[in-house]
Structure 1
Amino acid sequence: MHPSARSPGTTGRKAISRRSCVYYWRDLDDVPEDFGPSVLTLGNFDGVHRGHQRVLQQVLEAARERSAAAVVVSFDPHPAQVHRPESAPELIMGLEDRVEMLAATGIDALLMMRYTLEFAASSPEDFVERVFVRALKARAVVVGHDVRFGRGNSGDLETMRELGATLGFEVIAIDDFGASYPLHSTATDGDRRCSSTWVREALERGDVETAGRVLGREHRMRGEVVHGAARGRELGYPTANLAPSSDGFIPADGIYAGWLIDESGVRWPAAVSVGSNPTFDGVTRQVEAHVINRPPERVQDFDLYGQCVVVEFLHRLRGQVAYRGPEALIEQMKLDVDQARSLLSTEQRASG
């Protein structure tokens, strides 16, 4: 970071992760008066997918060229949840993961503004002057050609350029990031640009492989492990059940190979079930992960209850099926676990 982008001390600073020193503010008042200069971008960044990553890389490069701090301005909750909560899209990731993923890109500061109807009523001019100029002292703003901001989304790229010329900052407009084959999983994807909508569509059909390629990493959920019906334990395949309030888009019902990451950061290979357990006439969707290679000395006491864990989805093995009784289900579960173990072992060798 440029020396003039001073540390905010204790005001508004928050450790985003054990490895991060990113400045994290939840309000304009948290930004120190002497912060800046900066190069910034704004957006919701749900998923922090490869398209978002390209924008953030441009911000970092522009900031380095101008000896400025690289800053992201984002919003919580998602604007759609405020303006049309009945039809707002399900978010790909929760706030904690979004903040961590943004920090991991190498930015210097993150301003996560509280989005309210009052805030949404700000004119484009007032928003840019208060946030970009007075608070963050922007030298440049990096945006896509489809940028919209201010009351009723009345501000667009031309508005931003006019404000930049008046208020003294440069506007850098970048093209959408279109993914080339082999990112595409279907003939209909064509030269589709990376987007949060594409990720959601893939997850809705259980295509976690395509979702992962658009994201640039495995799709994940995060939540507390809670007590369930203990049916998996009775069948010989105990599971860690995520609380219904867990963060992250729930993919289509089915069985997946993936990873469970515990609170200490250990990654465990897992077979993950998403669905309502139709063999037992279940009605509530749940996400539960069976850790495959539990340590032999802890088979009986391997307890994750109460922990906040992350579940990552790598491959979909099959859809959800109602079996005729527990015996058939147990036989299928053994096949699922064996297949997940094989896939994850291959994945480990390839990444190692």
Structure 2
Amino acid sequence: MKPTLKINLNKIYDNAKIVKDTLDKYNVDITSVTKLHCCNPVIVDTLMQAGIKKFGDSRIDNLKNIKDIDAEKWLIRLPSISEAEEVVKYSDISLNSEYDTVKALNEEAKIQNKVHDILLMFDVGDLREGYFDKKDIVDSAKRIKNLTNIRLRGVATNLTCYGGVLPDENNLTNLVKVNELLEAELNTNLDIVSGGNSTSYTMFREDNPVKGVTNIRIGDTILFGRDCTYRSHIEGMNKDAFIIKAEIIEIKEKPSIPIGRRGFSALNSKPEFVDEGIRKRAILSVGKQDIDMDMFPLDNDTKILGGSSDHLIIDITDSKKDYKVGDTFELYMYYTATLRAFTSKYVVKEFI
């Protein structure tokens, strides 16, 4: 049996409805971030049934998967000039911070006889992408206004991903004020203020909205029912929409500490071990090429010991189940493990 990723669509739907209903109270819409599941059309359809109509991905190849779906498609990673043709062809909105890139998108939009929408990224402190100086973003916006096939829709920011800076009233209000500044300088209405990602949802969930934010780009919270600010499960939401199952290919009793002079493991880590005596271990037919260790077993009496590129080692000593070679073993998956499983061609995807 090949390793299989089980995807529970009902649980994803329920999570999406909770998030959407919460944000609807504040007239904030959602761009569902799809990069974890590579913009899978089945999951996108489930999210659309929950009322979500905008989808954002960091890779054009993923957006191609939903090119025939009637929804607004966002490219949420800064475009490369070299991919301008595909950006215009497969996305309705892209997030930008360089005038030369926007100019290339404009030229391509002319060729395709389209008007391409953009948001300008403004860095409010996390120090990843975006303009950092208000004068710079105003000067760039004024030049962009003269481009015939580009429509500036507003501003966006990213938080938490690089610097770990959390969204708060100060930094998101700063973003809103940048949008207002651009409206005044350009004498136009800009209708989108995209105030970050899943960490920004916490503020609205705690009834602490930032006036002027009109959009949040959310992936993790919808897919895993997780409050990304506190890294904790949100009561009433599903955290187990993704489960991986793999076949047991060996069961042996072995010492808990490797024997001999030790250096680095195969994937450049230097693991530490605790002496727990002889333990019963199961090896599964899946490894770090397909998954990350960001998981935990459904069987609470077992634990992950570690793995290599092709193997996952589980301590089954204390389990009440009598596992045999050939049995399947299941684990709940979190973000990075699920991300890797979706991109692995060796993992079967099974929708429930």
TM over 0.5: no
**TM-score normalised over the length of structure 2:** 0.32
**TM-score normalised over the length of structure 1:** 0.32
